[in-house]
Amino acid sequence: MVSTDMLTGLVVGAIISGALVAVFVAVPFDNGDDDGGTPPLVTAINGHSNGQDPETLSIPVSTHGEYVEPTMSFADIYEKVNPGVVKIMVERYEIIDTNDGGVGSGFVYDMEGHIVTNAHVIRAAESITVTFSDSSLYNAEIVGKDEFADIAVLKVDVDEPSKLQTVPLGDSSTLRVGEPVAAIGNPFGLTSSMSTGIISQVERLLPTNTGYSLPDVIQTDTAINPGSSGGPLLNLKGEIVGVNNAIQSTSGEYAGVGFAISARTVEKLAPALIEDGEYAHPWIGISGRNIEPETVKLMNLNITSGFLIIDVIPDSPADAAGLMPSEDYAVIEGEDRPIGGDVMLGVDGVEVNTINDILLYLHHSKSAGDTIEVELLRDGAIVKVYVTLAERPD
């Protein structure tokens, strides 16, 4: 697995770990000349007029149909979605390392009164209060939570069903870098606040305090601050594409790099949390390192990518299937590193270039109890091994 040392500089719900300075360079869109190859631009931003229609948004519209001109301004999105976004106030039975002031965000998931938020928002909760946009307050109970994916589901019993204005989940798998998005939440307790930005990257691998990394995380430059956690990240259709989760910062406040849990993750986990109170993540039971040029040279490999298995957890699915860990060491860049062992090249025909490929595939396509075909490079030969996945241990 990826080392938890990567947690340096990561703030989850305003929990600061170490000090990593992130440099973020914003490159504006260049409309350029109309040479037939450059998509036209709709040229107003955030509903603020720049001499043209203030109800359009600044995004490229592809001549090949990859983008569709939006029909909603950010103002329209806010009007549509905000009634389904809630403030979450938590009284905790113990002090935990956070500066969120016991405030988070969430959104209405269904007409049964289920609210989706981050698991860290309601951590150590003794009591939970949910406030709707009309300032009505309700007590909430925890239905289920998953610390690995940092997703939780609450439930409120409302006296008027009309208060439950659900926010639809969108298809986060279609997100593209540069696509405009908006976040609604309660940063620093400021109720019903909206910020806007773009998708900075998709399918990030986010280290967590559980010791496991979370795949399929969305990176955005949309402002996310303490109190924003659990609120929706929205596309231009007003659909949820992510759940705002963390920032990378040295101060605990927004610095241009934020993260959101993908809507695909919510779509998979939320029903299980509502039904069973928990979700069984599939688990192989290995840790290792992405193949590097030095490793290729020392092991005399004829590949340029893959995942080197360094450790196999005893009594794990990998152990039962006979996957081979590293047994030798070599000095690489001045430090002893494991070499030898199996190199994972594919899972069920899906190419493995890095650990992220493995985790993404298992996260979205497999469940505990499923059997997968793993393609390995072992002692210079390609071998295939079948591994039956188990439930990930705590």
Residues designated catalytic: 120, 150, 229
Question: Contact at 8 Å (CB) between 97 and 15?
Answer: yes
Question: Contact at 8 Å (CB) between 228 and 244?
Answer: yes
Q: Locate 352 and state its tokens.
A: 């493995």
Amino acid at 373: E
CA atoms within 13 A on the CB side of 156: 29
Residue ranges of E strands in 186-231? 193-207, 213-220
Amino acid at 170: G
Q: Say which residues have a Cβ less than 8 Å from residue 202's Cβ, sequence separation at least 6.
A: 172, 175, 176, 177, 216, 218, 219
The CA distance from 270 to 322, in Å, is: 34
47-51: list long-range contacts, CB under 8 Å, 24+ apart.
47/73, 47/74, 47/75
Nearest one of 312, 318, 314, 288 to 390, comparing CA atoms: 318
Residue 125's H or E segment, with its range, is strand 125-131
How many other β-carbons are positioned within 10 Å of the β-carbon of residue 387?
22
Handedness of CA 207, 210, 215, 216 (dihedral sign): negative
Alpha carbon of residue 15 to chain centroid: 17
| DSSP string for residues in 85-101 | EEEEEEEESS--S--ST
